Structure 1
Amino acid sequence: MIAIAGGKGGCGKTTTTVAIARAIVAGSDSPVIGVEGDWDMPDLRSLAQTAPLRSLPVRSIRVEELRDRCAGPGVTILEAPETATPQGRQQIFERVEEFCGGHPAQTVIDCPAGAGRDAAVPIEVASGILLVSTAEPASLRDTAKTAAMAEQLGSPVIGAVITGADTVPEGAERLLGTSRIIPIPDTRRPLRSPEVRRTYEHVVGQLEISNIG
């Protein structure tokens, strides 16, 4: 499972989650599970434009239903519950880890912004962390805190993307603790841009995301 994480809201985490999921499908023709981890601002399904038959509530996931929904290529979304306590969040993501970890589909989690407990829970269950930041210094500093939290939780950072950028900002490797940083071109509608699509396909290949369990 890959957690898509970053320090600031609006840096492109959800867009990156959708783009990475689509790139995995395009490269391997296999199913992908997208997990809505930002329960305060859930917009993964709407951005992914997933059909109703390819989405189900994360709270009530069952192995059989998950298998049926992910029977073929495409992206299936596990939607946020209407309400959840911090303890409930932990339990739900433990179930996500149990069910999705044993499923042949690749799983990507759209994490909440920041380095708080809400973000820590999905990061802790993930096999690898893809950091997302803009090129703005404040965004990079906040994402560095997310990277530090991932390290404390024992979840490896596999790389980072810098959204809306042509180059990697100076000092980003030091701040984020990784040399595997890929800039994502700036465009008003990134999920409709062929250039952005190709770049995210490069991200999946370069970071070997499809091979991470």
Structure 2
Amino acid sequence: MLAIAGGKGGVGKTTTVLGLSTALDAPVVAADADPDMPDLHALAGVDRTPTLAAVREHDVPTVAQPHPDDSAVTLLPAPRLGDADAVDQSLDRLARSDRRAIVDCPAGAGPDAAAPLRRADATLLVSTLCAPALRDAAKTAAMARTLDAPPVGVVLTRTRASPEAVTELLGCPVVASVPSAEPPILDDEAARAAYRQLATSFGEDIL
């Protein structure tokens, strides 16, 4: 299971989850573990329910919804607020299933963000190039290492740059730089190309 994590909200985590998921050739489950900012279902254009929480009582294929534009991708929207036990149990079942999974993590380095990292095999960081976002991403990177989901790369959004200083700060390489685009981001050919390149050079090795 791959965790998509970052220090701040709004840096492009959910877009990266969908962009990478749809760019991969292999079947994948994209799951939203962020009840505070449940964006995955809206961005993908699927129903709000059933959510990730349903996985604690049902098999993943039974409740995961098909992506409207990609039959290889299925989706699990975020649980409702206040259902922390359901999140923990569902993530545990998802991690133990035979499905390749990419999980949209809550931002920051708090307990909610730690839950998916405890189950993940690796973490892909997402950040913009602004200093506050990078500083917070460094905290998330440190937490991911502590929880045995080491960062394997960082996706920089709203830029074409890949500064060496970012690699030094976060302790992992810049594996993609996604240029700025008007929403919906994934309708932009340059953004889609960045995620295709990410999937080709990096994605399937860590899922």
TM range (shorter): 0.7 to 0.9
Name the residue aligned to 1:90: 88
Q: Distance in 2 between matches of 1:124 and 1:134?
A: 25
| 2:37 pairs with 1:32 | no
Name the residue aligned to 2:104: 110
The correspondence for 1:195, drawn from 190, 200, 203, is 190
1:175 deviates by 1.1
Name the residue aligned to 2:7: 7
Deviations for 1:64-98, whole angstroms, at most 9, x for unmatched residues?
7438867x933211122224344443222212212
* Larger deviation, residues 137-146 vs 41-50: 41-50
Q: Count the aligned residue pairs.
A: 201
Secondary structure, aligned partner of 2:102: strand
How large is the RMSD of aligned CA atoms in angstroms? 2.2
Residue type at the aligned position of 1:21? S
Deviations for 1:30-70, whole angstroms, at most 9, x for unmatched residues?
422110111111010110123x5x96322222227438867
The correspondence for 1:142, drawn from 110, 119, 136, is 136
| 2:142 pairs with 1:158 | no
Q: Distance in 2 between matches of 1:131 and 1:68?
A: 24
Report if the CA contact (8 A) 1:3-1:110 is conserved. yes
Residue type at the aligned position of 2:157? T
Q: Distance in 1 between matches of 2:38 and 2:64?
A: 24
TM-score of the superposition, structure 1-length normalised? 0.85
1:68 to 1:160, Cα distance in 2 relative to 1, 3 A: closer
Secondary structure, aligned partner of 1:73: strand
Q: Distance in 2 between matches of 1:126 and 1:32?
A: 15
| 2:38 pairs with 1:42 | yes
1:191 deviates by 0.8
Report if the CA contact (8 A) 2:5-2:104 is conserved. yes
Report if the CA contact (8 A) 2:20-2:199 is conserved. yes
Q: Distance in 2 between matches of 1:148 and 1:81?
A: 26
Report if the CA contact (8 A) 1:56-1:77 is conserved. no
The correspondence for 1:122, drawn from 116, 121, 128, is 116
Q: Distance in 1 between matches of 2:197 and 2:20?
A: 10
Report if the CA contact (8 A) 1:32-1:73 is conserved. no
User: Gaps (5+ residues) in structure 2?
Assistant: none
1:163 deviates by 0.2
Deviations for 1:109-142, whole angstroms, at most 9, x for unmatched residues?
0111001110111112112111000010111110
1:55 to 1:86, Cα distance in 2 relative to 1, 3 A: closer
**Percent of pairs with identical residues:** 37
Residue type at the aligned position of 1:186? S
